[in-house]
Amino acid sequence: MLSVYDDEQYLFQALRVGAAGYLLKSISSDELVRQLEFAHSGQTAIDPGMAARAAGTAARLQRDEFWPGVRQGLTQRESEILSFVVAGLSNRGIANKLVIGEETVKTHLRSIYRKLGVSDRAGAVATALREGIYQ
């Protein structure tokens, strides 16, 4: 995958769905050729500048130093919203608690559903409970 996003979250999401690598668009043409050959040989090609940071992030993930749902690709805000959904709050209730608009809550929910592979609130709650994101 060739991307402009220099963020481990995108790297991990790409690898989770089967990408053979994750390279930044700022890569030189010579390095791109080298990395593509690397990927073609069955290795995972990761932008050299991101590799050390990704290793550190992976180590913290193993030690559970992140928020609930990070392993599923949820952002901190999405995790917070999912916790309110699991607790039974409405979109309006979540918006009031977080001092954001209801449309913003809906946008976050769509992202949560996509990342969890579900189509509605009930599916999100069931997945959150089944996968141990929330009790």
For the segment 22-38, what is each residue's pLDDT rounded down to a tens digit?
A: 899 998 999 889 888 98
Per-residue pLDDT, 86: 93
CB 24 within 8 A of CB 50: yes
Per-residue pLDDT, 63: 66
Q: Where are the domains of the chain?
A: 2-62, 70-130
Q: 13 falls in which pLDDT band (50, 70, 90)?
A: confident
How far apart are alpha carbons 126 and 129 in whole angstroms? Answer: 5
Task: Map residue 21 onto helix, strand or coil.
Answer: strand
Per-residue pLDDT, 126: 93
For the segment 75-132, what is each residue's pLDDT rounded down to a tens digit?
A: 889 999 999 999 999 999 999 999 999 999 999 999 999 999 999 999 999 999 988 8
Under 8 Å CB-to-CB from 102, ≥6 apart: which residues?
A: 91, 92, 95
Select from 3.40.50.720, 2.102.10.10, 3.40.50.2300, 1.10.10.10 the CATH code of 70-130.
Answer: 1.10.10.10
Per-residue pLDDT, 25: 92
How far apart are alpha carbons 67 and 70 in whole angstroms? Answer: 6
How far apart are alpha carbons 133 and 135 in whole angstroms? Answer: 7
Per-residue pLDDT, 60: 67
- Is the predicted pLDDT of residue 9 greater than 80, yes or no? no
For the segment 33-63, what is each residue's pLDDT rounded down to a tens digit?
A: 988 898 889 888 888 878 878 777 777 666 6
